[in-house]
């Protein structure tokens, strides 16, 4: 004889099951929607435009490879690519090394409350305009500026430091250093202290603890900091224009020049896709290395 209450309990379980699944989907939904709206759709549009043509300075839907053939045949494209890639990677490494002592101090020396205050100070530059910060560097770097005057006072020539690789690096550091500082501090602060204590109790020296315990444990976070520094520097346009003076042809400068020269959006789209592809490959390899298992 069938109990009348059993179907009701089964129906209730099914309702709770579907309700929980719908509730979980509701929380997950914003991420794919965001990726679709802000990444997939613009990327698809960029790919489509790369096959369009420009007729009488007007963008015309087409299916031609002329923009790809033109851009990939430019000698200075590859010079700009390797210059941008090398500059960004060198800046990322230098910024990471520059930020590490401060990150280490915040993670291991500062008390938790002091660490919060210091991290707040690291975020403070984002409350000001990046363009204004770049402009302010010109006061220091230009001929007759702060650094030039100090060098002249010491008997040097005091030449302008604008339009140099050093100026470009300062621009990259102005943008990426706070981000790297925060990511490194979080990674180091989350290192398990028991491993450090065990190594110290076994007589390991501070250098050995740093290189054999702390750095391997914090490797994913430190690598992500390096990656973010590279990503920000690679797509950076403002410092290349206002501190580099356009002297160094980087890929963002090339994209701007192509757009300004006869509204060549298809050619600019090809350069942009080249940048995106190299960024994705670099990010994939870096993340793979950061999370690889110990051999």
Q: What is the mean pLDDT of residues 248-261?
A: 84
CA distances for 136 relative to 128, 149, 159, 178, angstroms: 12, 16, 18, 17
How far is the C-alpha of 153 from the C-alpha of 158, rounded, in Å? 9
The 10s digit of each residue's pLDDT in 115-160 is 999 989 988 888 888 888 888 888 888 888 888 888 888 888 878 8
Residues in the chain: 295
Whole-number pLDDT of residue 250: 87
Whole-number pLDDT of residue 214: 94
Whole-number pLDDT of residue 9: 67
Partners of 55 in the β-ladder: 58
What is the share, in percent, of the chain residues with pLDDT greater than 90? Answer: 47
Lowest mean pLDDT among 30-34, 176-180, 276-280, 282-286: 30-34
The 10s digit of each residue's pLDDT in 70-85 is 989 888 888 989 999 9
Q: Give 5's pLDDT tier (boundaries 50, 70, 90).
A: low
Whole-number pLDDT of residue 176: 94
- The pTM assigned to this predicted structure is 0.84
Domain limits, the chain = 45-291
Q: What is the mean pLDDT of residues 165-193?
A: 93
Q: Give 277's pLDDT tier (boundaries 50, 70, 90).
A: very high
What is 45-291's CATH number, 2.30.130.10, 1.10.3720.10, 3.40.50.300, 3.40.190.10?
1.10.3720.10
| DSSP structural state of residue 36 | I
CA distances for 178 relative to 35, 106, 109, 219, angstroms: 26, 13, 19, 19
* CB contact at 8 A, 200 and 209: yes
Q: Name the burial class of residue 204, with classes exposed (0-12), middle (13-18) and buried (19+) by CB atoms within 10 angstroms of its CB.
A: middle
CA atoms within 13 A on the CB side of 97: 6
Partners of 54 in the β-ladder: 59
**Residue 177: closest CA among 282, 86, 98, 279:** 98
* Residue 154 phi, psi (nearest 5): -90, 0
Higher pLDDT, 5 or 36: 36
At 96, which helix (H) or strand (E)?
helix 75-104
């Amino acid at each position: 004889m069938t109990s009348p209450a059993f179907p009701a309990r089964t129906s209730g379980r099914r309702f709770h099951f579907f309700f929980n699944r719908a509730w979980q989907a509701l929380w997950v939904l914003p991420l794919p929607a965001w990726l679709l709206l802000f990444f997939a759709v613009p990327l698809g549009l960029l790919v489509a435009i790369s096959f369009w043509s420009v007729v009488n300075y007007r963008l015309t839907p087409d299916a031609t490879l002329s923009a790809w053939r033109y851009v990939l045949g430019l000698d200075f494209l590859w010079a700009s690519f390797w210059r941008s890639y090398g500059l960004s990677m060198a800046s990322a490494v230098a910024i990471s090394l520059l930020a590490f002592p401060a990150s280490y101090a915040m993670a291991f020396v500062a008390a938790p409350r002091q660490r919060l205050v210091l991290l707040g100070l690291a975020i403070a530059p984002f409350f000001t305009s990046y363009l204004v910060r770049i402009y302010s560097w010109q006061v220091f770097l230009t001929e007759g500026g702060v650094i030039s005057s100090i060098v002249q006072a010491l008997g040097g020539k005091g030449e302008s430091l604008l339009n140099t690789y050093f100026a470009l690096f300062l621009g990259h550091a102005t943008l990426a250093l706070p981000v790297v500082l925060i990511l490194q501090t979080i990674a180091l602060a989350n290192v398990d202290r028991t491993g450090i204590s065990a190594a110290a109790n076994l007589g390991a020296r501070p250098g050995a603890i740093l290189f054999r315990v702390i750095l391997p444990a914090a490797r994913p976070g430190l690598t992500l900091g390096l990656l973010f520094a590279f990503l920000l520097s690679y797509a950076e346009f403002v410092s290349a224009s206002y501190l580099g003076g356009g002297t160094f042809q980087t890929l963002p400068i090339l994209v701007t020049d192509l757009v300004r020269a006869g509204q060549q959006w298809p050619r600019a789209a090809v350069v942009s896709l080249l940048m995106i592809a190299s960024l994705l490959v670099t990010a994939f390899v870096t993340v793979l290395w950061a999370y690889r298992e110990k051999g």
